[in-house]
Amino acid sequence: MASVVVTPKRWMPKGDALVEVRGKLPLVVFGGIPGETAKVRISGQGSHQARGDWQSAERPHARRVAPPCDRYSLCGGCPLMHLDAEGQGDARRDIVLQALAQHGLEGTEVLPLTPSPGGLADFRHVIKVGFGVSDIGRIKVGAWGRGSRDVVPIPECQVAAPILRRTMVSLAHHTIDLGIPPYEGGRGVLRSAVLRASHTTGEVLVTLIAGRRDRALSELAEQVARGVPEIVGVWLHLNDGQGNAIFQRDDQGVVGVVPLTGKETIEERLCDVTYRVGPGDFFQTHPAMAEVLYQRVMDGLELREGDSFVDLYSGVGGMALPAARRTGFALGVEEVEGAVRRAKEAARLNRVPAEFVWGPVLEVMPEIAPRLAGTAPKVVVDPARRGLEPGVLEAVMKLEPSALAYVSCNPTAMARDLAVLVKEGWSLSPVEMFDMFPNTAHVECLVIARPPGGSVEVARRAPKRQLVR
C-alpha cells in the first residue's frame, strides 16, 4: 500500500500513535510517536480507521531508540519498545492524563512512572505461548502475532525471564521432535502453554493446554522437564471450546488440570508472605514490581496495628495477607473460588490472621457490612479491566471507610469510577503509576481517595479472628 508523511498528535491506549485530519479517517500508527513527523506505510483500512506502520523520520524524536528485538513489529507484544525508558514513562503519563480528562478530572496530578526494578528486560515470570503451523507445514511455537493469530517464534524474547526463554526453546524443540500437531478447528492436539517461573526460587511450572488427550503429551512433559532442571511440574488442561480463551473454568472459577509429571505448585514470596501458585492460578507476572505496588498501597493507606482492612477483589491474597501482618487482621472478598482456596492456604501457611469470603462483591457486602460498621475500614479495590461493577462504589461508601485505595490496570475505567467519588466530595491523591509491563502501554495505577471532611470517627474496634486453621 501507499506511504504518507504524517505527524501523530496523541497516544492511543494500546501504544499506537494517532493521526487525526479533518475529513479523513483517523490513522493509527504502530511505532509512531506524537509530535514526530514520519513516513508511514498504510497497512490497512477499516470503516472507522486506517492503520499504518512507521517507516522513517528525517528528525527522529529525542526519545526514539532502535527496538532491541528483531520480532518487534511481527510480535507486537512490546509496542513501546521504540522508546527509551523516559519516553515510555511520558507515553503512559499522557494516556493516564487523557483518561482523567475524559471524565472531568483534568486537575488531578499524575506522578512520574515508578520504574521497573531491574529495568526493561527479563521481568516477565509468566508467558503464554501458542502452537501453529508455518506455510510449509512446520510446527511453530511462540507468541501470537500483532493483529492476528499467526504464531511468531520468539526464542530470544527479551522481556521473559531467562529461565522461561530456556523453557520455551525446550518446549518448541521437543514438540517439533515428537510431531505433536497444533489444535485447530477440532483437529490436532496442542493449543497453547503457560510457563510460570518463581521469582523467589527459580522453579518453573508448565501448563499444557490441549484440545484433546494424546499419549505423546506425557512423553513431551518428561522430555521438557529433563531438558530444563528448573522445571518441577508439567500439568495438562483440556480445552476444546470455541474462541481464544486459554483456560476453561468451571462454575466456581476453578481450572481443571491433570498431572503429567512433577509437583502441582511453586512458591513465590512477596512482602514477607509465601504463596503457593498452581497451574491455573492467577499471580503477578512481574513479582518485583508487584511488591513495590503492595508496599505503596499499605503506606498510602497508613496502615497501623488495629486498623480495619478490607480487600474487595483479593485474588490469592496478594494485598490482604501483607496488610494483615500490619493491622492484625484483614478481610478479603473474591468471586473465583479457586483463588479463595489459595488465599486461605497461604494464610494457614504463613499463620496470618486473615479471612477470605467467596462471592461477587455486591452479593457479599450485606454479609460483611455489619461486621465492619463503625470501624472506619481502610478499603482496597483492584478490579478487572472493566472497573467496578455498578453499585460497588455506593456499597463501599456505605461502609464509611476512612480511606479507599483504588488500584487499576485500566486508566479509563479508573477515571470513570473516581469521578463518581469526586462528585460525592471525596478527595484524591496524585495518581501513582507503576511499570508492571515495561515496553507496553499498560500501566498499573494507584490512587488513595479520602471521604469528605478527612478523618472518619472509629466507633469500635476492627473485627478479629484467630489464626486460620
CATH number at residue 100: 3.40.50.150
Which of these, 223, 204, 208, 214, lies nearest to 259 by C-alpha position?
Answer: 208
Give the model's confidence band at 457: pLDDT under 50 very low, under 70 low, under 90 confident, else very high: low
CATH number at residue 147: 2.40.50.1070
Q: How many Å apart are CA 261 and CA 439, to the nearest integer?
A: 35
* SS3 state at 362: helix
- On whether both 181 and 236 belong to a single domain, the answer is yes
pLDDT tens digits along 153-207: 999 999 999 999 999 999 999 999 999 999 988 899 999 999 999 999 999 999 9
Number of domains in the chain: 3
Q: Tell how far CA 20 is from the center of its chain.
A: 30
Give the model's confidence band at 468: pLDDT under 50 very low, under 70 low, under 90 confident, else very high: very low
Q: Is the pLDDT of residue 466 over 50?
A: no
pLDDT tens digits along 395-445: 999 999 999 999 999 999 999 999 999 999 999 999 999 999 999 999 999
- On whether both 40 and 83 belong to a single domain, the answer is no
- On whether both 97 and 199 belong to a single domain, the answer is no
Q: Residue 462 falls within a domain, yes or no?
A: yes
| Side chain identity at residue 119, one-letter code | G
DSSP H helix total and E strand total for the chain: 10, 24
pLDDT tens digits along 129-149: 999 999 888 999 999 999 888
- Region 374-394: mean pLDDT is 96
pLDDT score of 469 = 37
pLDDT score of 377 = 97
pLDDT tens digits along 61-87: 999 999 999 999 999 999 999 999 999
- Region 461-468: mean pLDDT is 54
pTM, two decimal places: 0.93
pLDDT score of 460 = 55
Q: Residue 334 falls within a domain, yes or no?
A: yes
pLDDT score of 462 = 62
- On whether both 253 and 303 belong to a single domain, the answer is no
Beta carbons within 8 Å of 372's beta carbon, 6+ residues apart: 308, 310, 331, 399, 463
- On whether both 208 and 300 belong to a single domain, the answer is no
- On whether both 459 and 334 belong to a single domain, the answer is yes
**Mean pLDDT, the chain, integer:** 94
- On whether both 173 and 201 belong to a single domain, the answer is yes
Among 234, 269, 304, the domain boundary falls at 269
- On whether both 205 and 333 belong to a single domain, the answer is no
Query: Which residue segment(s) compose the domain that 21 sits in?
Result: 1-61
**Chain position carrying cell 462471592:** 359
Q: Residue 278 falls within a domain, yes or no?
A: no
- On whether both 208 and 238 belong to a single domain, the answer is yes
